[in-house]
Structure 1
Amino acid sequence: MTIDHPYDIGGSGRTATTGPDDHVRDMIEQLLLTSPGERVMRPDFGAGLLQLVFEPGGPEAAATTQYLVQSALERHLGHVLTADRVEVEAVDSALLITVSYVVLRTRTPAVATFHIPDGRQ
């Protein structure tokens, strides 16, 4: 078990934990929401998607975001997962990102959807 993200207190009054597959999903979320330069010891970590929400939309922006997410997943989480497909859709003033991936440790396929910036999943 690992510490759940975002940090929370569980029903027992202790730090909430999560299973290994959900932890991988949490790592993807951290990668997408972290801006490059935000982490002192890893200044290149992050996809910086919160900044893209304020950029002009359109198919070009969606394609750029898709490439940005795919390359960030391969670069920073390639040792944990294989990203099969990344889909990006602009919805009003938010981005809807769907990542289909396989957890390398268990060979388990999974799909995670992120609604950025408001965090709905």
Structure 2
Amino acid sequence: MNGDYPHVGRGWAFPPTWARPKSGPVSLETEEGQVHLADALRVLLHTLPGSRVMRPDFGAGVDRYVFEPRTPDACHRLADDVLRALLLGEPRVIVDSVQAVPSEGADDRVDVIVSYRIDRHRRPNNLVVPFYLAGAR
């Protein structure tokens, strides 16, 4: 799996973890390929725009929706923010669609479904990120 996407690169595992071998130095865990890219997408979606000094447009700030009611309007704005962030902040993927749909299993959850392709291979992938909104309980 990892050798399949060399152009995606390698980066820190998320959340950052340390490898503790029985002998030798402790090192930071890394990921590559699809796993690395999926983690990068999650970091992008949870980053608040303006919070990175050198990249003020980076992020979707989906955590702003935590106290929003679970309405079609909130779902539409959430999907729009996610799409904008992916188009501006992640050049390694081609976004096919973004949907924010109320979860059937929880009254306070909206699932954001991102359908994307890793540019070089054009293989479709999906990422489902649940977001919990204030809703009727």
Q: TM class by shorter-chain length?
A: 0.7 to 0.9
Rg larger in structure:
2
What percentage of aligned pairs have identical amino acids?
32
Q: TM-score, normalised by structure 1?
A: 0.83
- Residues in 2 aligned to 1:37 and 1:94: alpha-carbon distance in whole angstroms: 26
Q: Which residue of 2 aligns with 1:103?
A: 118
CA contact (8 A) 1:32 1:69 kept: yes
Once the two structures are TM-superposed, the CA of residue 116 in structure 1 deviates from its matched residue by: 2.9
Distance 1:105 1:27 in 2: 17
Aligned residue in 1 for 2:27: 14
Query: Are 1:66 and 1:86, in contact at CA under 8 Å, matched by a contact in 2?
Result: yes
Structure 2's unaligned 5+ residue stretches are: 1-9, 133-137
RMSD over aligned CA atoms reads 1.8
Task: Give TM-score, length-normalised by structure 2.
Answer: 0.74
Runs of 4+ in 1 over 4 A off after TM superposition: none
Deviations for 1:73-116, whole angstroms, at most 9, x for unmatched residues? 11111x21011121213443343212111011333321111123
- The match for 1:71 is 84
What are the residue-to-residue correspondences of 1:1-121 with 2, within 5 Å? 1-10=10-19, 12=21, 13-77=26-90, 79-90=91-102, 91-116=106-131
Paired amino acid for 1:28:
L
Tell me the matched-pair count: 116
